[in-house]
């Protein structure tokens, strides 16, 4: 991990290491899902409050998961991030905990079963019995993370806006939900691969991450294809702004733009900002 200047260092720590950008990106992703699926506040809940709740859950979840990683698997954490989380990890959990509590108070309907599944998935991703975790199981990190993001930013917001009351999973909208879920999981998978490239030298070989068994160039080409496939799904749905967004993302994950030697600004700011950039379709 490298920083080009002191100011860049501060920006990365504030927006990236605190998980702020990725949390906002989760909320934006939820709003995009609801817009594409034509959900509005007529459903009995404010979409912005739902997005805020999902952002708070994401920030808290990432903070807990990475704090556990620092405590149990410090060898798999970059030294700069390791130092930051050792110093501020508990404060991050406390701060995001307050955000979660306030968001919890602001929303009306919470599908507890789905929340419980996501919490268990998040904990399993962080640690399993025997000093292991789901992310360390061979070939599991990428599909697991992508599916969890799909559930958290597509299925969960639907349920929080009363989707279960309208039997939306059994009517003619089911095919659209499947397409949105598919587009989101493909996109997150493609966006995640560059981070595996960054962590190539610290991830355990047994994890079999995409760059470990495809090489850096092959993995980044795979990331580009996944993001373009996501754009293709958005095109099928007539979501041309999201197609353009996918094309833009593809340009920054392609091998000419990405490598294991890029600065942390590229990963923690540019790539995580791609999730937030989806907000352009909300205007």
Distances (CA, A) of 148 to 84, 130, 141, 155: 26, 23, 11, 10
Axis-axis angle for helices 20-36, 174-198 (nearest 10): 160
The structure's pTM equals: 0.90
Q: How many CA atoms lie within 13 A of 162 on its CB side?
A: 13
Q: Taking Cα atoms as reference points, which of 77, 227, 89, 203 lies closest to residue 137?
A: 203
Please state, in angstroms and rounded to a whole number, the distance separating the CA atoms of residues 53 and 51. Answer: 5
**Residue-level pLDDT at 42:** 55
Backbone angles phi, psi at 132, to 5 degrees: -130, 180
| pLDDT at position 2 | 47
Local structure of residue 282 (DSSP, 8 states): G
Q: Per-block average pLDDT, block size 10, for the chain (283 residues)?
A: 55 87 95 84 74 94 90 82 90 96 88 84 73 73 91 90 60 80 96 88 78 88 96 94 94 84 83 90 72
Domains of the chain and CATH, by start: 6-282 (1.10.600)
């Amino acid at each position: 991990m490298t920083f080009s200047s002191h100011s860049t260092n501060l920006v990365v720590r504030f927006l990236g290491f605190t998980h702020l950008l990725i949390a906002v990106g989760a909320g934006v992703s939820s709003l995009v899902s609801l817009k594409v699926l034509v959900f509005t506040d007529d459903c009995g809940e404010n979409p912005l409050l739902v997005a805020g709740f999902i952002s708070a859950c994401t920030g808290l979840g990432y903070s807990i998961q990475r704090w556990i990683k620092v405590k149990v698997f410090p060898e798999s954490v970059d030294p700069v991030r390791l130092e930051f989380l050792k110093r501020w990890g508990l404060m991050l959990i406390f701060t995001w905990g307050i955000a979660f509590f306030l968001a919890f108070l602001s929303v009306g309907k919470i599908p507890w079963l789905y929340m419980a599944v996501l919490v268990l998935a998040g904990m399993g991703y962080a640690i399993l019995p025997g000093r292991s975790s789901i992310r360390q199981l061979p070939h599991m990190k990428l599909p697991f993370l992508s599916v969890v993001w799909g559930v958290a930013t597509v299925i969960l917001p639907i349920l929080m806006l009363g989707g279960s009351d309208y039997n939306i999973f059994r009517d003619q909208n089911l095919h659209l939900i499947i397409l949105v879920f598919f587009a989101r999981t493909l996109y997150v998978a493609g966006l995640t691969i560059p981070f595996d490239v960054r962590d190539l030298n610290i991830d355990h070989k047994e994890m079999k991450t995409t760059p470990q068994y495809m090489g850096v160039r092959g993995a980044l080409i795979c990331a580009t294809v996944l993001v373009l496939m996501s754009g293709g799904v958005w095109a099928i749905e007539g979501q041309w702004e999201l197609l353009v967004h996918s094309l833009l993302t593809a340009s920054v994950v392609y091998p000419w733009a990405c490598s294991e030697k890029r600065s942390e600004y590229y990963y923690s700011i540019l790539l995580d900002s791609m999730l937030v950039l989806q907000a352009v379709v909300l205007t």
